[in-house]
Structure 1
Amino acid sequence: MTANLSETLTLLLVEDDDGDAFLVEELLKQAMAPPRIFRARSLHEARSKLTPEIQCVLVDLSLPDAARLEALDEVLALAPHTAVLVLTGLRDMHMGVSAVQSGAQDYLVKGDVDARLLARSIRYAMERKRADVAQLKLVQAELTAKENARLERALLPGPLLRTASIEHVTRYLPGSGGTLAGDFFDTVQTPDGSVHLVIGDVCGHGPDEAALGVALRIGWRTLVLAGQTGDTLLRTLDSLLRAERKDPEIFTTLCLATITPDLTHATMRLVGHPPPVLVRGSRVDVVPGSPSGPPLGIFPDAEWSVLDVPLGEEWSMMLYTDGLIEATVGDPHEFLGVDGLVALVRAHGAIDLDRLIGHVGALSDDLAVVMVRRRRA
């Protein structure tokens, strides 16, 4: 009777006994589409033949250079994403259970195998492996999503605002990798009525950079609530960055803004960061004088100049990380850029974050945006 292998597969048979290997090969020749079979007589030889094209490994547990589960463990380590079927002469049910518990998809005794059973076991082994890999990816995705949610709550907190005269809108999108990086922002209104904003970007991607962003964001909020501003605040954050970073080459860009209690004027420091976009009446432009100093973590004696920005009675302001201006627009090789961002805001007639983000294409980096607008009385 014809065995049920309906497509041509590529198998690796790890078997030192020529007679047993011949038997397996003859049984598989009866399949509807006989597989391509590579043979290895030892574990050492199998190492060089376990290439990505191998879809299933049939391994004996009695090899000249490996005994019992040692051979299986080695094969599983070498080919973690490949189905593995144990095929041996040992009639030991405990060994079979142990083999499956160790990671094999099935366990067959040579003397009990016919063509149909062997073909079916190979097919089932491959399907079980696919299911295992899919389940592992699902679990990893769920863990990543939970970790991202925890980091996002720390990186992107709600604003501490008491005034109803300020509209505050934020957006955050992870880059193409899907994992949070070190982009962060925060907004705090102090008892004197001043509104303080920060947006920052830790260079690099990964959990270490995200954790560093959390530390800097919390450090900034703590310092602002304690009444620290200006260069004192920046030098303290610079010291915090140097103490917490895993690599001495990691730096952080920042944009700091303080809006006066009457909401008509702002002072800013652009710490190696892209300039905010301002809409004042019908005029759309960026903060001049960018940058006002280098990023944190580069020069221990860095200084940052203060940028005075008149706002007037009617205004909106957008702070963002470079993931926005480095996003593609139109041509996959064309970046939005600061000029393109200003042009989009002008075309929209206002800062509309959803329309703005919807206009850009692929993100190569995390994108964080904060928009504040003075509400009309």
Structure 2
Amino acid sequence: MAVPVPRQRTGSTVEKQPAAATATGGDLMLLVIDDDPAGTFTVAELPEGAGTRVRIRTARNLTEAARLLTDDIHCILVDLALPRTPGTNPAPGADDGDELAPLKHVLRLAPRHAVLALAAEGDSERGAAAVRVGAQDYLFRDELDGRLLSRAIRYAVERKRADMAQRQLTESRLRAQENARLERGLLPTPLLQGSDLRFAARYRPGRSRALLGGDFYDTVRTPDGTVHAMIGDVCGHGPDEAALGVELRIAWRALTLAGLCGDQLLSTLQQVLEHERESEEIFATLCTVDIAPDGRRAGLCLAGHPSPLVTHQGRATQLLPNEEGGPALGLLPRARWPRRQVELGGAWNLLMYTDGLIEGRVGPGAKQRLGQEGMVEMINSQLARGLGGDDLLEAAVAQARELNGGELTDDVAVLLLGRGAG
């Protein structure tokens, strides 16, 4: 037996809840869109089920429904026989004879609400079509009673809530995957074809769940056989700093391949930084080396960056000299960065790094930082174990993290170039 539903009494109020909220522990509000409310339902509330009361509001057409569609509505019951209201806009490309046009209008009007379709007796084909376009379920008018409708409303609300949660989860996963692909694409691929130097790198951003931070590095071999390597650090480690680091890295590669080196290259990079940074307080440290084609010597430029260390088999690890370095990029408008010649010898490993590696603590709760001297000792201990290449970098970063008592808060980039016996 059908249960007619009148218009909501003036002045009645319900507590506002988000659309598609869970039905547990609160009333549900149903909006009925039917052009003949007097011939359909005669109660203002449906019987309670599972401790939930369903209260009812009615609208004669889509225009009136739009006005009554407030935040306290949880579910909408749409009569599929409802005529299209003059002045309502159909979806782009919709057929004027579309029998589901009123339902589709409601779905566009209320994308976060649960929607039930009310079909004529035995019209299961149209009911199924209503579900395919977005309704949570359909009901037959001749089989409708208060208990069935109350149960269908609770089911539709919960299903809509679950659908929205799943959609948000899927969108979040897709967004994370897209961001990961983008960030992986922004990490450098070394351009060392034709070189006999070994290459290894490790990168760990300080931002949670990020692949890219404000640190950056790159390595290229120019046509004359010189291998150029660079590592740098934009102050801060958020997305803006990461973007600026990528811009500086790309600019460095382009300028290096164009033949710039030393002070001329760093001066041009400073111009790029000054143009691209969000604030005049932003600066970047940088270390560049250019290794001669024979691999026995290199030019070193430091812009406020910690000096690399070099290892030789049978000799103690040492830091390269840093007395003639210049300031970080972006600090002084007419700064200069001297290029210093260093001898590497026949077999060596050159380790370049950012300060995230050396600014960790030497123990949980300790105030003392690892520093460059502590890093040299740490690298020596790893070399004594026979580690090299990727294994050496992985062990160094892991030990720095272990000493710190947890994740290193700053971005960490480490680059290793080697020649001759490992």
Fold conserved between structures, TM > 0.5:
yes
Aligned to 2:123: none
TM alignment of 1:44-63, pairs within 5 A: none
Give, in angstroms, the shift of residue 131 of structure 1.
Answer: 0.9
1:107 aligns with 2:115: yes
Q: 1:126 aligns with which of 161, 178, 191?
A: 161
Q: Deviations over 1:148-174 (max 9, x none)?
A: 23222xxx122235332x211122334
Give, in angstroms, the shift of residue 285 of structure 1.
Answer: 3.1
TM alignment of 1:1-377, pairs within 5 A: 9=24, 11=26, 23=45, 27=48, 30-31=49-50, 34=51, 68-69=65-66, 75=71, 85-87=74-76, 92=82, 94-101=101-108, 102-108=110-116, 114=147, 115-152=150-187, 156-164=188-196, 166-175=197-206, 176-205=208-237, 208-281=240-313, 282-289=315-322, 292-326=325-359, 331=364, 336-349=370-383, 351=388, 352-359=392-399, 360=401, 361-376=406-421
- One-letter code of the match for 1:347? S
- One-letter code of the match for 2:178? L
Distance 2:357 2:250 in 1: 24
Q: What secondary structure sits across from 1:324 in the alignment? A: coil
Distance 1:300 1:316 in 2: 35
- Mean CA deviation greater in 287-296 or 121-130: 287-296
Give, in angstroms, the shift of residue 255 of structure 1.
Answer: 0.7
Distance 1:261 1:188 in 2: 12
Distance 1:21 1:250 in 2: 67
Q: What secondary structure sits across from 1:309 in the alignment? A: strand
- Mean CA deviation greater in 331-340 or 195-204: 331-340
Aligned to 2:137: none
More strand per residue? 1
Give, in angstroms, the shift of residue 319 of structure 1.
Answer: 1.0
Structure 1 residue runs of 5 or longer lacking an equivalent are 1-6, 40-57, 77-83
| Corresponding pairs, count | 330
More helix per residue? 1
Partners of 1:61 and 1:87 within 8 A in 2: no
Distance 2:297 2:67 in 1: 72
Q: Deviations over 1:242-275 (max 9, x none)?
A: 2233433332211111223443333322212233
Partners of 2:263 and 2:339 within 8 A in 1: no
Distance 1:337 1:126 in 2: 53
Give the TM-score taking structure 2 as reference length. 0.65
Query: Taking structure 1 as reference, are residues 363 and 231 closer, same or farther at Cα in structure 2, changes over 3 Å only?
Result: same
Alignment identity in percent? 33
Distance 2:268 2:348 in 1: 31
Distance 2:65 2:362 in 1: 58
Partners of 2:220 and 2:253 within 8 A in 1: yes
Q: What secondary structure sits across from 1:237 in the alignment? A: helix
Give, in angstroms, the shift of residue 16 of structure 1.
Answer: 11
Structure 2 residue runs of 5 or longer lacking an equivalent are 1-21, 33-41, 83-99, 119-143
Larger Rg: 2
Query: Taking structure 1 as reference, are residues 362 and 69 closer, same or farther at Cα in structure 2, changes over 3 Å only?
Result: farther
Q: Deviations over 1:128-148 (max 9, x none)?
A: 122111111122112212222
Query: Taking structure 1 as reference, are residues 8 and 67 closer, same or farther at Cα in structure 2, changes over 3 Å only?
Result: closer
Query: Taking structure 1 as reference, are residues 112 and 324 closer, same or farther at Cα in structure 2, changes over 3 Å only?
Result: farther
Query: Taking structure 1 as reference, are residues 220 and 71 closer, same or farther at Cα in structure 2, changes over 3 Å only?
Result: farther
